[in-house]
Amino acid sequence: MSYNENYDKWLEFTELPAYLRDELVAMDEKTKEDAFYTNLEFGTAGMRGYIGAGTNRINIYVVRQATEGLAKLIESKGDEAKKRGVAIAYDSRHFSPEFAEDSARVLAAHGIKAYVFEALRPTPELSFAVRHLNAIAGIMITASHNPAPFNGYKVYGEDGGQMPPADADALTDYIRAIENPFTVTVADLDQAKAEGLIEIIGEAIDAEYLKEVKDVNINQDLINEFGKDMKIVYTPLHGTGEMLARRALAQAGFESVQVVESQANPDPNFSTVKSPNPESQAAFALAEELGRQVDADVLVATDPDADRLGVEIRQADGSYWNLSGNQIGALIAKYILEAHKQAGTLPANAALAKSIVSTELVTKIAESYGATMFNVLTGFKFIAEKIQEFEEKHNHTYMFGFEESFGYLIKPFVRDKDAIQAVLLVAEIAAYYRSRGLTLADGIDEIYKEYGYFAEKTISVTLSGVDGAAEIKKIMDKFRDNAPSQFNQTDIAITEDFQACTSTAADGTVTSLTTPPSNVLKYTLADDSWFAVRPSGTEPKIKFYIATVGDTLAEAEEKIANIEAEITAFTS
Q: Are residues 467 and 490 in the same domain?
A: yes
Q: Is the pLDDT of residue 537 over 80?
A: no
Closest of 63, 56, 52, 54 to residue 41, by C-alpha: 56
Of 177, 206, 235, the domain-final residue: 206
pLDDT in tens, 415-460: 999 999 999 999 999 999 999 999 999 999 999 999 999 999 999 9
What is the four-CA torsion angle of 279, 281, 282, 285, rounded to 10 degrees?
120
Written as one string, the DSSP assignment of 32-94 is: HHHHHSSPPPPBTTBEEEEBSSSTTSBSHHHHHHHHHHHHHHHHTT-HHHHHH-EEEEE-SST
Written as one string, the DSSP assignment of 173-217 is: HHHHT---GGG-----HHHHHHTTSEEEE-HHHHHHHHHHHTTT-
54 part of a folded domain: yes
Q: Is the pLDDT of residue 508 over 80?
A: yes
Amino acid at 387: I
314 part of a folded domain: yes
- Report the Cα 534 to chain-centroid distance in Å: 16
Q: Is the pLDDT of residue 108 over 70?
A: yes
Q: Are residues 158 and 231 in the same domain?
A: no
- The domain total for the chain is 3
150 part of a folded domain: yes
Q: Are residues 430 and 362 in the same domain?
A: yes
From 127, 144, 358, 518, active-site residue: 144
Q: Are residues 92 and 107 in the same domain?
A: yes
Q: Are residues 195 and 297 in the same domain?
A: no
DSSP 324: -
pLDDT in tens, 51-84: 999 999 999 999 999 999 999 999 999 999 999 9
What is the four-CA torsion angle of 249, 254, 256, 262, rounded to 10 degrees?
-10
392 part of a folded domain: yes
Q: Are residues 186 and 261 in the same domain?
A: no
Closest of 37, 53, 47, 48 to residue 1, by C-alpha: 37
- How much is the pLDDT for 84? 98
8 part of a folded domain: no
Q: Are residues 528 and 389 in the same domain?
A: no
**Cα radius of gyration (the chain):** 24
Nearest-angstrom CA–CA distance, 230 and 403 = 28
Do 356 and 403 contact (CB within 8 A), yes or no?
A: no
27 part of a folded domain: no
Beta bridge mates, 530 = 524, 547
Q: Is the pLDDT of residue 527 over 70?
A: yes
Q: At what angle do helices 3-11 and 29-36 cross, to 10 degrees?
A: 90
Q: Is the pLDDT of residue 538 over 70?
A: no
530 part of a folded domain: yes
Do 125 and 421 contact (CB within 8 A), yes or no?
A: no
pLDDT in tens, 365-417: 999 999 999 999 998 999 999 999 999 999 999 999 999 999 999 999 999 99
Q: Are residues 340 and 384 in the same domain?
A: yes
Q: Is 144 a catalytic residue?
A: yes
Q: Is the pLDDT of residue 116 over 80?
A: yes
Give the structural domain span for 225: 214-451
Residue 539: in which H helix or E strand, if any? none
Cα 291–Cα 296–Cα 299 angle in degrees, nearest 5:
70
- How much is the pLDDT for 45? 66
Nearest-angstrom CA–CA distance, 360 and 135 = 36
First to last CA, the chain: 33
Q: Are residues 169 and 241 in the same domain?
A: no
Of 190, 206, 222, the domain-final residue: 206
- Segments in 394-515 forming alpha helices (H): 419-435, 440-451, 465-482
Domain containing residue 172: CATH number: 3.40.120.10
30 part of a folded domain: no
- How much is the pLDDT for 284? 98
- How much is the pLDDT for 467? 83
Q: Is the dihedral of CA 160, 205, 97, 72 positive or negative?
A: positive
Give the pLDDT mean for 126-143: 98
460 conformational bin, left if phi > 0, alpha if psi -120 to 50, beta if neither? beta
Q: Are residues 240 and 384 in the same domain?
A: yes
Give the pLDDT mean for 223-243: 96
What is the SS3 assignment for 161? coil
Q: Which residue has the higher pLDDT, 179 or 104?
A: 104
Amino acid at 416: D
Do 199 and 116 contact (CB within 8 A), yes or no?
A: yes
Domain containing residue 488: CATH number: 3.30.310.50
Q: Is the pLDDT of residue 88 over 80?
A: yes
pTM, two decimals, is 0.95
- How much is the pLDDT for 160? 97
- How much is the pLDDT for 463? 87
Of 161, 189, 206, the domain-final residue: 206
Q: Are residues 195 and 295 in the same domain?
A: no
Mean pLDDT of the chain: 95
Q: Are residues 274 and 408 in the same domain?
A: yes
- How much is the pLDDT for 43? 67
Give the pLDDT mean for 36-63: 91
Give the pLDDT mean for 482-498: 94
- How much is the pLDDT for 536? 82
